Amino acid sequence: MRSTFTASATSPLSGAFPNPQASARPVPPPLPAPLPSPLVCATERMNWPAPAGTSPSRGARSLAGAGSLSPAPGENYCCICMDEIRDKKTLEKCRHSFCRPCIDQAFQFKAACPMCLTFYGTQVGDQPRGGSMAVTRWASPLPGYEPYGTIVIDYTIPSGVQEQRGHPNPGVAFAGTSRRAFLPDCAEGQRVLRLLQRAFEQRLTFTVGTSATTGLSNVVIWNDVHHKTSTHGGPQGYASASMLFVLRRDFIPITSPSVHSL
């Protein structure tokens, strides 16, 4: 009598005799490990000019070997030329360091740290020329500042022609404006008033553009500096209790160090 043995899936011999009809799937090769990204600083995002006299091979060499050769942030590394720092220069406020020729040329383009964008120097905006800022005082208080009177600021910007620098349509006429804003006449409000006066002198308060309220183009508009334009709440009279904080927050990136000491 002939005996027959059939290997089952649970038989210990089932793997000893491979099925010749079973198709073996090819094993794909392992994926290559991704290279670490090179260090990126604000100069690359802002397209700052390459420093004069810098050898192209320095930046190219650092980019090509960024996965293994570039030092970690905080080490002796200049993110402008993307190489080791030579003739080191450390910025006073933020303490970031760069090659002296690199940062000197970068500051000719924009006086701000390429790493953290901390501003250095005095910023000048594109507010139309010939405007005025008049300050008067009322005895009545603003909500939330009942013990104090009110500082009233009247801005006047005359109509004119748009300039080449900063305006959307150079050579095209623009419509002027008159605006009124309010501050509490307390010590902090007086300090903010000096900030607003400095901003107006530096031509930072207004610009020319399209009004978000009316949709009209080629008109004078606010330039990202919050003002309280109503004596009570609402879109133009935001919460008085937080008004001074909002104003001082807005001035941090646009004013020089001397302003903060006022």
Confidence at 154, pLDDT banded by 50, 70, 90? very high
The residue among 255 and 81 whose pLDDT is bigger is 81
- Identify the pLDDT of residue 107: 85
Return the pLDDT at 223: 87
Residue 181 β-bridge partners? 153
Q: Domain range for residue 255?
A: 132-260
Residue 105 shares a structural domain with residue 64: yes
Contact 190, 199 (CB under 8 A): no
Q: Tell me if 15 is assigned to some domain.
A: no
pLDDT greater at residue 45 or residue 140: 140
Task: Write the single-letter amino acid at 189.
Answer: G
Q: Are residues 158 and 105 in the same domain?
A: no
* pLDDT for 207: 94
Asked if residue 168 and residue 73 are part of one domain, the reply reads no
Single out the residue of 91, 81, 30 nearest to residue 60, CA to CA: 81
Q: Name every residue whose Cβ is closer than 8 Å to that of residue 95 and which is 6 or more positions away in sequence.
A: none
Do 144 and 238 have their domain in common?
A: yes
User: Is residue 7 in some structural domain?
Assistant: no
- Tell me, yes or no, whether 28 lies in a domain: no
Q: Is residue 182 part of a domain?
A: yes
For residue 53, give the CATH number of its domain. Answer: 3.30.40
**pLDDT number for residue 30:** 63
| Same structural domain, 95 and 155 | no
Segment among 30-34, 169-173, 241-245, 257-261 with least mean pLDDT: 257-261
Pairing of strands 177-184, 150-157: antiparallel
pLDDT of 187 above 50:
yes
Confirm whether 23 is domain-assigned: no
Sequence letter at residue 187: A
Give yes or no: residues 203 and 167 share one domain. yes
The closest alpha carbon to 240, from 254, 253, 226, 221, belongs to 226
Same domain? For 102 and 155 the reply is: no
For residue range 208-259, what is the model confidence (pLDDT) as tens digits? 999 998 999 999 999 878 788 988 875 566 545 566 666 666 665 544 433 3
Per-residue pLDDT, 144: 86
> What pLDDT does 240 receive?
55
pTM of the model: 0.55
Report the greatest alpha carbon distance in the chain.
Answer: 122
Considering the domain architecture, whether residues 186 and 248 belong to the same structural domain is answered as yes
69 occurs within a structural domain:
yes
Percent of all residues in the chain with a pLDDT value above 90, rounded to a whole number = 39
Cα separation, 95 vs 129, whole angstroms:
36
pLDDT value at 90 more than 80: yes
Which of 90-94, 106-110, 173-177 bottoms out in mean pLDDT, i.e. has the lowest? 106-110
pLDDT, position 251: 60
- Both ends of the chain: CA-CA distance in Å? 112
Please state, rounded to an integer, the average pLDDT across all residues of the chain.
74
The larger pLDDT score, comparing residue 213 to residue 74, is at: 213
**Same domain for 96 and 160?**
no
Of residues 122 and 248, more confidence is placed in: 122
Interval 44-56: pLDDT, tens: 444 445 555 554 4
The answer on 229 and 141 residing in a single domain is yes
**Any domain includes 9:** no
- The verdict on 170 and 253 lying in the same domain is yes
Does residue 21 sit within a domain? no
CATH code (residue 157):
3.30.390.130
CB-count burial class (<10 Å; 0-12, 13-18, 19+) for 103: buried
- Do 228 and 149 belong together in one domain? yes
How many domains, in total, are found in the chain? 2
Q: How confident is the model at residue 28 (pLDDT cuts 50, 70, 90)?
A: low
